[in-house]
Structure 1
């Protein structure tokens, strides 16, 4: 599990593709301080396992499912990536619960300065993720824990402070660039539990009677 607080920006050193599988070697410093084989590292928000390391890099495997669902497939040697080690049990919880399981990629549609911040507008490739997003709730963008400013039926906006911009790959992102998105896991579990209590027989597992009236009747409102 991660918190979405990026520890450092790494650099892609080597990419080996084998069909829809990849082996990535990433140059790093801080995350190498206590690295072990089998450790989980979030790379642009994707949970990957360390299979090899030396004094200046880690190597991770990317399986076909991860290749298909994330933007990792479009990485090139020299690209910068966000890196975060798994959360320590006694550490501070600076962001929100991040699993490193990408729900959808998204496309940045605009990047605009606003006083001391930069506002990014992003449209997810899979619109189904939007049902889990609420204004002032949490979203993970390329592994970064961010607060949602606005959500509509097309996408959402996030406002980035100078420190976050300087310490993450968002400093290099512009309109047209792709990012990995992960919705807050709490909303997904709540939805699953509610649907299991009141499924829609017309479309099992897909549609539901999750309405305002249902939530009120069951004590959620």
Structure 2
């Protein structure tokens, strides 16, 4: 589990496709902090996607990226030199500084507009209808692995605000209009919907 509090900005190194370009990929990320205590099998979130460490070398770690992840996230658009948000899994004794983040991306959105403020930026993003249904004003959302608070929700878009720390410490500071973002909604919303959908209809008196 993650919290959406990015620990460092990593840089994508080599990307290989052992079984061909239509199959899985192995991606190497230069991230000295994450690599400092990583071991094989660890989970590390890269741009909000939970990935498994398969190799650690110096200040870099390598992860497997399954075809499902390439199809359903923006990881397929990464190239050597791309900057990515990196977060290690939260230890059991750690603080939940953001919100519960699984690293299971629900969909890909795009930046529609960016309005710079005195010290912060207001962003408007589009999202698929199947994702937007779970987004609530003042609720939590994860964009490229960053835990944020939703400022508004419209028919096809929603908004977030980025404080100076977020602008400086994550890749969202570089996000340009039209860029893709990985979106993970609050998992609690999905469980609530599932539970409500499974409710038994109230019994009606036949008399």
TM-score range, shorter chain: over 0.9
What residue is the counterpart of 1:203 in the other structure? none
Write the mapping of 1:132-211 to structure 2, written as runs, cut at 5 A.
132-198=134-200
Query: What corresponds to 1:211 in structure 2?
Result: none
Report how many aligned residue pairs link the two structures: 199
Distance 1:146 1:163 in 2: 12
Alignment of 1:20 with 2:16, yes or no, is: no
In the alignment, is the contact (CA less than 8 A) between 1:20 and 1:68 conserved in 2? no
Number of the residue aligned with 1:7? 7
What runs of 5+ residues in structure 2 fail to find an aligned partner?
Answer: 203-207
* Contact 1:105 1:178 (8 Å CA) reproduced: yes
Q: TM-score, normalised by structure 2?
A: 0.93
Aligned-residue Cα RMSD (Å) equals: 1.2
Looking at structure 2, the residues matched to 121 and 189 of structure 1 have their Cα atoms a distance apart, in angstroms, of 26
TM-score, reference length from structure 1: 0.88
SS in 2 for 1:132: coil
Change (3 A) 1:118 1:198: farther
3-state SS in 1 of match to 2:198: helix
Residue-by-residue CA offset, 1:53-85 (whole Å, 9 max, x unaligned): 111100001111111000000101000000000
* Per-residue deviation, 1:155: 1.2
* Moved beyond 2 Å, runs of 4+: none
Measured in 2, the distance between the counterparts of 1:120 and 1:46 equals: 21
Q: Where in structure 1 are there 5+ consecutive unaligned residues?
A: 200-213, 215-221
CA distance in 1, matches of 2:139, 2:44: 24
